[in-house]
A and B are shown apart, each in its own frame.
Chain A
């Protein structure tokens, strides 16, 4: 039959501020098996510890729960105290009602209830604890580092310089990892090769480090101090004593080049024939496709009135320019639209001269007249309204361009007649 003791600490105001410690202790006293439950201002102080040790001796306790701070803080304190009066250290456990409870809650009632729960759980746990005996086991003083990137290399070198043996395992044929792919390092823009390569050489020169490159860890067994690891060395088919690392075999290997070829969708997968014919015709005009991305996109936009996803996807497949780059360019420049535009494109100039002469007013009035905002298209698909930062007709400001034709000296009053030239019909308002 267990005889449990529960000791609730206030930790000054740290716990008592948010947890009703007296109430918690009273509750703990009602738990089955608990023969004593006390609360005290500082349980870790000498008088506090004495309360615990006295209780263990006087009441012949078989288990103790101290409800106070984190076990990282005072578990050793209380366990040491318990052993002085003959209780096995592992029969004492800490319920963390400070870091896990009072410090992180501000509702006193709920925090109190949570503290009760934490204590009840610990009480049940300690009832099931068995006394443990500490023993010493021999430790194999060797270290394995998995991954020989810059971090793994440095760890291996540090351990080796402390005098221990290291097994450094790297999956790839060469060590160095991602850092060997970089030019400069953030934020100081130091030369990354200058940091990495001396360390790579150090690894090879260290007599404490055994390098297992082109190898993978397959299985890890055992426990701290006595691990058993199975490393699979991949077949290199290269005589390492003769290899100079020139890389010729790597570069010229037919098999590798074949295997790493990315899987590409078929050129015409999901692309309509019409789009293919049109894009092909545009591409024929360009010899240097990568350098002329902007020109090609302009031509596609001229053809389709906007940049359809289908056309961009096809262009990307055909020209080997990543789709992300095409979209990057398309989004950067004002001239491109990724959504279909109207039959007539109205561009209101908002250059400085036009701004002074009422350009914004004109833009607003056209928007009001058509019932759309800048960048939108009318429902009937007739007009798209855009703004442009100067058409270079500043002397005739304010100007509006429709389908490439510039209208000069536009006033609010002239707008309906300009729009009418392009088939706009004003809705008649019945008076």
Chain B
């Protein structure tokens, strides 16, 4: 077997050279979220400055560190100093940082988030002690934001593909045992033991076999898969190669959402590079094992996250789920045994094999091992990707890492698991996160989207939102889902318009149960969850909408009237600027007033007011 010794030593040299570079190195987070916040302009400006002023410095584009609310992030590494991470670096700030720190001695402490490598810089704390980083364990995200996702030598230098090589040495049986020892469960939502899934496919009769990476991250509010693919695509490829080796598959597909162009680009580059190195293709490293990968671009259908629908879509058909069994492990792609795991699951595999299953299973709870990446978003101060050990409580995530609700709002609930999931209300905040515990609370892990809601969020509206989403995304195959969810949505629309009737809640519950019991796939089977879960914990909000015709959160237009509290209003004029109907008037620094006749209850003023002076009547 070839060992790529030369490639590894070259990669290690390159990486070392970058770490000990004689010129300052600036790492810019250039994943989709960074670019959305303006990283593209920052890089452009940086390159212009370096070229025009002939500054000796190097720019490296990296993936996402996970602190999305502080994007664009720039890490500056001056020779002899530790790496310093800066947040909210716009085109002006980058010039300041260049002038004051890169060329001068002032480390711009006011914008610094922390030092990332050993050593001290005046009055800058450690990055690992930043509130958003406390309690985080970087296992899956170990390379995201650290390596250049388009440079394979960075990945190799950080032990890339060593897990795969170890697997080739161990042989399929022992490799599978390591995954079993690790206790890894599927990160896509259902939490099915990964080793068991592999075992089924491995022992199934039929040739050829396939492995698929489900990268159709459809749950709105979740983006960890995108971040992994953009920031560390190699780990996905390596995980898939290990899985394919265990199962005996020679080809694999990565089904990526069409909405993730950058992920597709970075994956394509990674596949090309892996092929060039002989880590994909025929007779890999002379081991006799052949494996190659192809990317399939999704075309915008939530239901394609369901494995049988995904297979149909890969085959070029409409993504309609089918009855299981037979499970894909028996008859999947083109009727052949197929193993499907999601991005995060695959990405977990290389380190498990390299460091051993025991190390992985040392983290987490009894039933849920390892770490889980969550996207912490919604009405919370710090938003971004967080990777925590299983068993961390929701309170630690929302309050310690997330910094709690914004402004002076109060926390209401966390929605987890996307449209198939449910709500975790304030009293359950101390629930340790774990596949089974969340299930008991009526929510589910899903792919890991955590959406924080505060007292300005109407739970009836949230349920209505999810159902509208599902009505839109139902493939239409089963009557129960196609018509049932639409009827439930109609009832919610009515309730939100102030036309709720006695018995609506019971009707919703009844319909919800029917849809749950009679749908073919999990999209329909979990479609009523947003309603049933909010009814379980926020029944009073539904009752207030139906009986008192009020929406306390100020969201449901027909039930709300806005007014400005003259004592709290500072007359900043923000609401005047944004009001679409010019319904707000008032002199600067004087209390403003809303003209009820012109107001269309859009809620812009209510949401924007920095002083919470807009009240719901």
Contacts and interface: CB of A to CB of B under 8 A. Distances in A.
Interface of A: 290-295, 297-298, 325, 328-329, 332-336, 350-358, 361, 364-365, 368, 388-397, 399, 404-409, 411-413
16 contacts: A294-B316, A298-B258, A332-B318, A352-B462, A352-B466, A353-B221, A355-B220, A355-B465, A388-B259, A390-B220, A392-B223, A395-B375, A396-B33, A397-B383, A411-B604, A413-B577
A191 B271 CA distance: 46
A389 B466 CA distance: 11
Contact of B300 (A334, A356, A412): A334
A408 B464 CA distance: 25
A335 B220 contact: no
Interface string B209-230: 0000000011111110010000
Contacts of B415: 352
A354 to B, nearest CB: 8
B300 A333 contact: yes
Nearest to A297: B299
B313 A294 contact: yes
Contact of A389 (B38, B462, B469): B469
Contacts, number: 169
B433 to A, nearest CB: 18
A291 B35 CA distance: 34
Nearest to A332: B318
A332 B580 CA distance: 35
A407 B466 CA distance: 24
Contacts of B451: 352-353, 356, 394
A330 B230 CA distance: 28
A416 to B, nearest CB: 11
B377 A353 contact: yes
Given A352-B465, A411-B578, A392 B259 contact: yes
A340 to B, nearest CB: 18
Contacts of A292: 316
Contacts of A355: 220, 462, 465
B258 A295 contact: no
Contacts of B37: 396, 408-409
B302 interface: yes
Contacts of B314: 291
Interface in B547-599: 577-578, 580
B259 A290 contact: no
A406 B36 contact: yes
- 4 closest Cβ contacts across the A-B interface? A395-B68, A351-B220, A334-B300, A333-B299
Interface in B26-85: 32-33, 35-38, 68-69, 71
Nearest to A355: B465
B418 interface: yes
Given A352-B221, A353-B221, A395-B33, A361 B604 contact: yes
Contacts of A335: 258, 298-300
Contacts of A333: 298-301, 318-319
B453 interface: yes
A336 B218 CA distance: 17
Contacts of B418: 352
Given A334-B301, A361-B604, A389-B302, A395 B316 contact: no
Contacts of A291: 314-316
A294 B297 contact: yes
A298 B319 CA distance: 15
B377 A395 contact: yes
B603 A361 contact: yes
Given A294-B313, A356-B379, A396-B69, A404 B261 contact: yes
Interface-centre pick from A291, A293, A351, A358 (highest chain B CB count, 10 A): A351
B69 A413 contact: no
A351 B378 CA distance: 11
Nearest to B226: A392
A136 to B, nearest CB: 58
Nearest to A289: B316
Nearest to B304: A333
Nearest to B333: A291
Interface in B288-303: 296-302
A352 B603 CA distance: 17
A329 B317 contact: yes
B243 to A, nearest CB: 22
Interface in B365-401: 375-379, 383-385
Contact of B316 (A293, A364, A388): A293
Contacts of A353: 220-221, 377-378, 383, 451
Interface of B: 32-33, 35-38, 68-69, 71, 217-223, 226, 257-261, 296-302, 313-319, 375-379, 383-385, 415, 418, 449, 451, 453, 457, 462, 465-466, 469, 472-473, 475, 577-578, 580, 602-604, 607-608
Nearest to B604: A412
Given A294-B296, A298-B258, A358-B604, A394 B223 contact: yes
Nearest to A400: B36
Given A290-B316, A333-B301, A352-B220, A408 B580 contact: no
Nearest to B225: A392
A397 B316 contact: no
A393 B299 contact: no
Nearest to B382: A395
Contact of A394 (B35, B218, B222, B608): B222
Contacts of B218: 389-390
A397 B68 CA distance: 10
A413 B602 CA distance: 13
B69 A334 contact: no
Contact of B457 (A356, A368, A393): A356
Interface-centre pick from B219, B261, B378 (highest chain A CB count, 10 A): B378
B77 to A, nearest CB: 25
Nearest to B456: A356
Contacts of A405: 35
Nearest to A365: B580
B259 A390 contact: yes
A388 B258 CA distance: 11
Interface-centre pick from B38, B71, B300, B466 (highest chain A CB count, 10 A): B300
B375 A394 contact: yes
A395 B261 contact: no
Nearest to B472: A389
A408 B257 CA distance: 20
Contact of A356 (B258, B453, B578): B453
Nearest to B461: A355
A298 B261 contact: no
Given A335-B300, A361-B603, A412-B580, A393 B379 contact: no
Contacts of B473: 389
Contacts of B453: 356
A350 B377 CA distance: 14
Given A356-B457, A408-B37, A392 B578 contact: no
B36 A412 contact: no
A392 B465 CA distance: 17
Contacts of B35: 405-406
A393 B375 contact: no
Contacts of A391: 32, 259
A395 B602 contact: no
Contact of A395 (B299, B383, B604): B383
Contacts of A393: 32-33, 36, 68, 223
A394 B302 CA distance: 17
A395 B418 CA distance: 15
Contacts of B260: 392
Given A352-B415, A406-B35, A364 B602 contact: yes
Given A361-B604, A395-B384, A352 B578 contact: no
Nearest to B464: A355
A25 to B, nearest CB: 56
Contacts of A413: 577-578
Nearest to A291: B316
A392 B297 contact: no
Nearest to A293: B316
Contacts of B580: 365, 368, 412
